[in-house]
Every structure is written in structure tokens, then in C-alpha cells.
């Protein structure tokens, strides 16, 4: 199974994760039809779930992912990602943030990072946690 631990495997896994993020996007969009940006959908989910996220924090997360996708993803997975005020995210907040970052990265980049193939199972679970949260809160 050595082929599962490579940049190529990471790219394939990233494609799968991106597809799941598109399902999440569509799931929330159907309940947020006045908005079309993914950040607005994630902000709605965060509001409905009383999560420790808002649009400003999502913008900060996006900047972190843009600056260094791999390090930002790893920090969210480790629970060490913090905002300028020192605040951190809850576990489900981390899942939502990871979903947001993966969706944007997958839409604008075809690069692979080792964190994807090293932590695929946990990342996948985080995306499904976000999907289940959307279903629970919006339907």
C-alpha cells in the first residue's frame, strides 16, 4: 500500500475531499439562496450552530490557507491554530474551518501537500462532521 503515501495519492485524496466539500456547499446553498459565496454558507452554518466562527474569522482562516496551505491545515488538525486575539476553535469549528480551506484550495489549485495523505482519514471525518452538522441544523 505504499502508493497511498505519496503526493500522487494526496492529489487523488484532495480531489475526493473537494468533491465532498462541493456536496456541503450545495447542501448549505439550498438553505442560503440569497448568497452564492462559500464563505457566506459557512458563516450561516457557524451562526446556526453557535460555533466560535464568523465571517471575519473565516477570512482570517482563508488568508492563512492562502499563505501556507499545508501549515494551516496541520495547525487546524493539531488544534494549534489561533486567531490574532489568541482564541482557538472548538473541535467542530476546526472541522468547519478545514472544510472551508479545502473547498477553496481545491477550487483554485491542483497542488498536493503531504498533510493530505498523512492525515486523510481524519480530514475526511472532519468534512463529514461538517456535512452532518449542516444536515442537522438546516434540515
Strand partners, 82: 88
Per-residue confidence (pLDDT) for residue 4, from 0 to 100: 67
Q: For 24-41, what is each residue's pLDDT tens digit?
A: 999 999 999 999 999 999
CA distances from 121 to 12, 116, 117 (A): 13, 9, 9
- Nine-digit cell at 122? 481524519
For residue 6, name the pLDDT band (cuts at 50, 70, 90): confident
For the chain, percent of residues with pLDDT exceeding 70: 94
How far apart CA 105 and CA 122 sit, in angstroms, is 18
Indicate the domain borders of the chain.
55-139
For residue 1, name the pLDDT band (cuts at 50, 70, 90): low
Question: Which of residues 26 and 4 earns the better pLDDT score?
Answer: 26
CA distances from 48 to 53, 71, 79, 102 (A): 11, 29, 22, 21
* Average pLDDT taken over every residue of the chain: 92
Query: What does the CA dihedral 97, 101, 103, 106 come to, rounded to 10 degrees?
Result: -160
Per-residue confidence (pLDDT) for residue 122, from 0 to 100: 96
Read off the pTM: 0.91
- Nine-digit cell at 17? 475531499
Residues 6+ positions from 108 with CB-CB distance below 8 Å: none
What's the rounded mean pLDDT across residues 74-98? 96
Residues 6+ positions from 118 with CB-CB distance below 8 Å: 5
Per-residue confidence (pLDDT) for residue 98, from 0 to 100: 98
What's the rounded mean pLDDT across residues 60-89? 95
Per-residue confidence (pLDDT) for residue 23, from 0 to 100: 97
Amino acid at each position: 500500500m505504499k502508493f497511498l503515501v505519496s503526493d500522487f495519492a494526496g492529489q487523488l485524496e484532495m480531489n475526493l475531499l473537494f468533491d465532498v466539500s462541493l456536496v456541503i456547499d450545495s447542501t448549505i446553498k439550498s438553505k442560503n439562496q440569497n448568497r452564492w459565496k462559500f464563505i457566506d454558507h459557512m458563516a450561516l452554518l457557524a451562526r446556526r450552530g453557535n460555533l466560535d466562527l464568523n465571517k471575519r474569522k473565516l477570512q482570517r482562516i482563508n488568508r492563512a490557507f492562502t499563505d501556507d496551505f499545508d501549515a494551516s491545515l496541520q495547525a487546524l488538525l493539531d488544534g494549534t491554530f489561533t486567531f490574532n486575539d489568541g482564541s482557538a476553535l472548538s473541535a467542530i469549528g476546526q472541522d468547519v474551518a478545514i472544510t472551508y480551506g479545502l473547498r477553496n484550495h481545491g477550487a483554485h489549485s491542483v497542488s498536493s501537500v503531504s498533510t493530505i495523505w498523512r492525515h486523510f482519514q481524519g480530514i475526511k471525518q472532519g468534512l463529514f462532521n461538517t456535512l452532518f452538522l449542516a444536515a442537522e441544523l438546516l434540515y
